[in-house]
């Protein structure tokens, strides 16, 4: 077995489309890094004073990218394992960027879980099937 590493956070389908037919499994590691990169890599944003319409625009782009990826992978024969972090169970971040990030990650995690056959939560090295 061999692994091929592909790095990116945008245009994910174009990054994997040439290699997916030979793949048995895709490991998407990790969803929270994907969201984080989408939020901070392209623009310098004053997150303390950002207009909510820009936050929604960014989230819409992340959601669209996620849906495109999910639909593409579902059309292929390989399995896909998504790794993510549960960041909504802790303290509420005291700064806007942290709150936007937490909320967007939560909604993207829900979208992926809804479109997955199975979902697990790992706690202290123990996996708990939640779907």
The CATH number assigned to the domain holding 44 equals 3.40.50.300
Residue 84 in any domain: the answer is yes
Residue 1 in any domain: the answer is no
- Residue ranges making up the domain that contains 57: 12-129
Six-digit token string for 60: 């819409």
Residue 6 in any domain: the answer is no
pLDDT above 70 coverage of the chain, percent = 99
Residue 7 in any domain: the answer is no
Residue 44 in any domain: the answer is yes
Q: Which residue has the tokens 């942290």?
A: 98
pLDDT of residue 1: 64
User: What are the DSSP calls for 14-63, one per residue?
Assistant: HHHTTTGGG-SEEEEE-HHHHHHHHHHSS----TTS--HHHHHHHHHHHH
Residue 122 in any domain: the answer is yes
Check whether 80 has a pLDDT greater than 90.
Answer: yes
Residue 4 in any domain: the answer is no
For 37-75, write each residue's pLDDT tens digit.
999 998 899 999 999 999 999 999 999 999 999 999 999
Q: How many domains does the chain contain in total?
A: 1
């Amino acid at each position: 077995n061999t692994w091929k590493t592909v790095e990116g956070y945008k245009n994910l389908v174009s990054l994997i489309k040439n290699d997916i037919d030979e793949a048995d499994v895709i490991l998407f590691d990790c969803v929270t890094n994907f969201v984080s990169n989408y939020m901070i890599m392209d623009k310098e944003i004053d997150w303390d004073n950002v207009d909510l319409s820009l936050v929604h625009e960014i989230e819409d782009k992340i959601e669209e990218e996620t849906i495109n990826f999910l639909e593409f992978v579902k059309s292929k024969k390989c399995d896909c394992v998504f790794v993510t972090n549960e960041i909504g169970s802790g303290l509420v971040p005291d700064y806007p960027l942290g709150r936007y990030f937490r909320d967007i990650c939560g909604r993207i995690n829900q979208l992926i879980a809804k479109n997955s056959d199975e979902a697990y939560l790992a706690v202290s090295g123990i996996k708990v099937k939640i779907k």
